[in-house]
Amino acid sequence: MISINNLKIMSTLADETRYQIYQYILQNKKYYTVQEIAELFSIHPNVARLHLTKLCEIGIVQGEFIKSGKGGRPGRAYHATERGIVISFPNRDFETLLNWTLQFISEIGNEAIEKLKLISYQDGYNEMKAHFDSKKTAITINEKIDFLTKNATNFGYVPTIVKKDGNKQIFFEIDHCPFKEQISEHSHLICKCHESYLKGQIDALFPNNDFIHITSMENSCNTC
């Protein structure tokens, strides 16, 4: 995580277009030129350059000179960094508290890990159940899928829906884990919590499902 003045972070991300640009770059693991961003968001290249510069100033986007493969000098392209930011009032060192907690759970061992998985699963299950129990009308499958995908996006997952043999399959992928700094030492905790939380949500919506874990940063993959 990086520590920057809270006011600067908030003022940078307060601009709706700038925030949308960051979200787009974050979810699409690619490099983008100023011209590409300008075309994607229907803005002037000078405005796109300003937005990207502001995002670079708070460290969540980085610009690099990349060769285009078409000859000529390398051009500047931008991508999302792997570092995150934390905003809190008053200032609280959540990262240190998180590291203490993860270390404590690791030292206790399997009993604590299984309890942690149960808590994260139950949290995901109850959250989804409470949302749909408040509805007075029956919820369609498409509505369930729509809400699940939107909720997953809020946690950084990029959902993809694939139709196969008359069935719908939902693939969730994340390549910018919000806890990337802790994965190297505590992946067995972080990844299991995320997986249990997501499974709890899916079980609440679709009691009969096949929940399959394909890849994980825990196993040195680029994405989960």
Output the DSSP codes for 130-195.
HHHHT-SSPPPHHHHHHHHHHHHHHTT-EEEEEEETTEEEEEEE-SS-TTHHHHHHHHHHHHHHHH
- The pLDDT, as a whole number, for residue 1 is 44
- Least Cα distance to 83 among 180, 157, 7 occurs for 180
- Residue 8 has a CB neighbour count (10 Å cut-off) of 12
- The pLDDT, as a whole number, for residue 41 is 93
- The pLDDT, as a whole number, for residue 128 is 84
- Least Cα distance to 143 among 206, 186, 100 occurs for 206
Q: Where are the alpha helices (DSSP H) in the chain?
A: 6-13, 16-27, 34-40, 45-57, 94-108, 110-133, 141-154, 180-205
- Asked if residues 8 and 58 have their Cβ atoms less than 8 Å apart, the reply is yes
Name the most confidently modeled range: 52-56, 132-136, 209-213: 52-56
